[in-house]
A = this chain, B = another copy of it.
Amino acid sequence: MADQLTERSQNILEAIVEDYIASAEPVGSRAISRRHSFNLSPASVRNVMADLEDMGLLCSPHTSAGRIPTEKGFQYYIDTLLHVRDLNSNEKQNLRKSYRFQGMKMEDVMQEVGRVLSGLSKYTGLVMAPKFSSTVFRQIEFVRLSQGRVLVIYVSETGLVQNKVIEADRSLTAQQLEKISNYLNAELTGLSIQEVRTKLNQELQEERILYDQMKQQALKLSCAALQDEVENQVYVSGASLMLEQPEFSTPEQMRRLIKTLESKKLLVDLLDRSQLAQGVQIFIGSDSSHIDLEGCSLITSNFSNKKGAIGSLGVIGPVRMDYSQVIPIVDFTAQLVSRVLEREIE
């Protein structure tokens, strides 16, 4: 349906979208005919505008206001009119310098990425850390605490750590724990955490007729430590920047936005969805299938290392976002983070 637009219509649509992105206000025919040198009178522009409105690409808040792009209009703009320029090496260098990951733990890296993303884009930054279950097992350690409590520590190939305190049989000695961990380290090496989980469960099933008390203990402990993990940690940075945007200027809008950003559930959904595809993805407004993010767009990309730990990051802004500026930032940041993660294992 898209390319039925004449060149003139496209030019005008582009002009309207861009003016609207810059001003956040309805764009009138006069303004278009003056600011852009189409050599067309306002009246002609109006005719085209009426057509675009019929197609559902524009709409007007009321009779005597200008036009604003609909979500469909933005969609079209992004699909066919937007030219995303690459960052030049200077900008890339600057971006690289913004991030200081030196000697940071994974969590801190994620938080830092969110902060910078938000700072550069002037919108809200989102980062979803790699799920632990999608990483590759490297080592398990047990630390005896007091009163039969045992701290179980899983380490992934990438150096991610997951730990949990488990109530264990008091009779377990340090020697036994060491034996257990040796056994498991041999047994589980090379599996993904997901596989580790199923394998442990299987063996626990088989061993049900507890021939080997200790082995059973071992499996139980290790299993418990992988239970009910809060996966999908999402970091949200710069929510307050969104409140500066005119589309969130009324108390009601502010409340709703903050509530949505705070609950994080929806964000996890979207970032999860984004992981299904590759490269930069854009979700526009209620296209994202949830009213709570009405008026928002989301630009995401994924990062990963060669061992499969996958996370995603992005920027959430008003639909009227400066896509040409934010897209390259998100894109390059994702690459940057990937490279950092890879450097950490390889």
Bound complex: CA A346 to CA B149 (Å): 10
Known: A103-B224, A224-B103, A258-B258. A138 touches B143 (CB 8 A): yes
| Segment with Cβ contacts to B, from A29-37, A202-210, A243-251 | A243-251
Number of copies of this kind of chain in the complex: 2
Bound complex: CA A346 to CA B161 (Å): 25
A239 to B262, Cβ gap below 8 A? yes
For the complex of A and B, the 9 pairs showing the least CB-CB separation, nearest first, are: A240-B259, A159-B165, A161-B163, A240-B258, A243-B255, A143-B155, A151-B159, A254-B254, A139-B143
Q: Is A153 an interface residue (CB 8 A)?
A: yes
19 new A-B contacts, CB < 8 A, other than A239-B258, A254-B255, are: A103-B164, A103-B166, A105-B164, A105-B165, A108-B230, A138-B145, A141-B153, A145-B158, A145-B345, A146-B157, A146-B345, A146-B346, A151-B161, A161-B163, A240-B262, A243-B255, A244-B255, A251-B251, A254-B254
A-B contact pairs, 12 of them (CB 8 A): A105-B165, A108-B230, A143-B155, A145-B159, A146-B345, A149-B159, A151-B155, A153-B161, A161-B161, A239-B262, A240-B259, A251-B251
Contact with B along A278-302 (1 / 0, CB 8 A): 0000000000000000000000000
Q: Is A269 an interface residue (CB 8 A)?
A: no
Interface size, A (range): 35 or more
Bound complex: CA A138 to CA B147 (Å): 14
Q: Please classify the interface of chain A as helix (H, G, I), strand (E, B), loop, or mixed, using the class held by over half of its residues.
A: mixed
